[in-house]
Chains A and B, each alone.
Chain A
Amino acid sequence: MSSRFPDTLLRLKPPPFEYHAPTTVEEAYALLGSLEDAKVLAGGQSLIPLLNFRLARPQHLVDINRIADLDRIYERDGGVAVQALARQAAVEDSELAARICPLLSAAVGLVAHRVIRNRGTVCGSLAHADAASELPAVLLALGGSVVVRSSRGERTIPAVQLFAGVFETTLAPDEMIVEAWFPALREPFAILEESRRHGDFALAGVVRAGPKLALFGVAPTPVLADPRDPARELQPSGDLEATPEFRMHLVRVLTEKAFAA
């Protein structure tokens, strides 16, 4: 294609990768099972920035967006099941989610901005496993789970076993999250976070689901904590935006607020 611009402007931002666009889940599992160093591309709202910065350099991208019927939000086992391509905005607008698990609806509205949520997916947030993001902590507080599939079969991973470290899950390289499951919650709930800018990642955040408490932004993964002494075994990191002490202070204050209701 001809261009009116000099070559320097035509340099590509993402690092080299091979692009695959399967149209069925079986094809996706086969690709993930046979390719070395492949990444699933769903909403791309975390992965594409990492590519643009060249912080991630996967050899292969498996774009699942062309797979049909993978975007349902439905009731399962009394809770809300959210499939891999259900956008965060769809979950935010879902009456089913609001009725069965209002904590999920509230939490999803805090993820970045609406324009990002139009594209970003719930399962993608969980797979990305950013310790400062809301949805992993919500899944943990609720005691939810994810269904992961590969050409070897299917298994269910409970939230307590899903998050392994910084941006790390216990998924095998050939596995993909096909569905997240959020249990019903009728007890009091709250999700509170403190960030420097609206829509930015939280310096610290707390999720209350009934009597249970999960924290985010204060450890390599989201963590469950004791509401009576939430900062007890915490060793949060410090950076330009917040010292470890300030993060622990935020955890105590936000927990108190979350359980005051």
Chain B
Amino acid sequence: MKVNGVERQSPADARRLLSDYLRHELGLTGTHVGCEHGVCGCCTVLLDGAPVRSCLMLAVQAEGHDVTTIEGLARDDQALHPVQQAFHECHGLQCGFCTPGFVMSVVGLLAQHPSPSPQQIDEGIAGNLCRCTGYASIRRAVQRAAELSPSPHTGEGRGEGET
């Protein structure tokens, strides 16, 4: 499987969840693990460009696919991805635990709806829990991200970074 563009070895055990594989075998700890049964959204990553829960997949199931984690959005210490930039500008976070999951879900949302309506924003982030912010600044961040994103983003071959 490719993780953030790099070919990686198969997991040591078929029972290894994708979330644990990313964190414990690859050391990519930007993918956070909250509830581990698909409710909180912290562990959201992109599978072939579409957001999925990495705690609800076995790592072996990602073989032959492209996985993008939060570490893969802004590569080589270049400019932030537009969604990251927007969360930064709008202060769409407090403690930051849920943030990687939100960012990955919003990347998927904007790929599906490049100019989302308020209702589409609510639907798009409904699967991610934040226990700090009350969501108002997160919604603003999604709107800002849509302004910053000239075209749909999938996390693949990312961007210009002219933000």
Q: In the bound complex, what is the Cα–Cα distance between A125 and B25 (angstroms)? A: 32
Contacts of A17 in B (CB 8 A): 14-15
Interface size for chain A: under 10, 10 to 19, 20 to 34, or 35 or more residues? Answer: 20 to 34
With A12-B13, A13-B36, A53-B37 already in contact, the answer to whether A119 and B25 are too (CB < 8 A) is: no
Q: In the bound complex, what is the Cα–Cα distance between A5 and B20 (angstroms)? A: 11
Contacts of B13 in A (CB 8 A): 12
Q: Which of B24, B36, B53, B112 has the most CB of A within 10 A?
A: B53
B25: contacting residue among A1, A45, A49, A118, CB under 8 A: A1
A119: contacting residue among B53, B64, B109, B123, CB under 8 A: B53
Q: In the bound complex, what is the Cα–Cα distance between A45 and B16 (angstroms)? A: 16
Contacts of A113 in B (CB 8 A): 41, 126-127
Q: A152: CB under 8 A from chain B?
A: no
Q: In the bound complex, what is the Cα–Cα distance between A14 and B57 (angstroms)? A: 11
Q: In the bound complex, what is the Cα–Cα distance between A54 and B44 (angstroms)? A: 22
User: What string of 1s and 0s marks CB contacts (under 8 Å) between A59-72 and chain B?
Assistant: 00001011000000
Which DSSP category, helix, strand, loop or mixed, fits chain B's interface? mixed
Q: In the bound complex, what is the Cα–Cα distance between A116 and B47 (angstroms)? A: 12
Q: Indicate if the CB atoms of A119 and B57 lie closer than 8 Å.
A: yes
With A113-B126, A116-B53, A118-B52 already in contact, the answer to whether A21 and B36 are too (CB < 8 A) is: no
With A12-B16, A19-B14, A115-B127 already in contact, the answer to whether A4 and B51 are too (CB < 8 A) is: no
Q: B9: CB under 8 A from chain A?
A: yes
With A19-B14, A119-B53 already in contact, the answer to whether A114 and B127 are too (CB < 8 A) is: yes
Q: B55: CB under 8 A from chain A?
A: yes
Contacts A/B (CB < 8 Å), 10 sampled: A12-B13, A41-B58, A45-B38, A45-B56, A48-B17, A52-B37, A114-B127, A115-B44, A119-B53, A119-B57
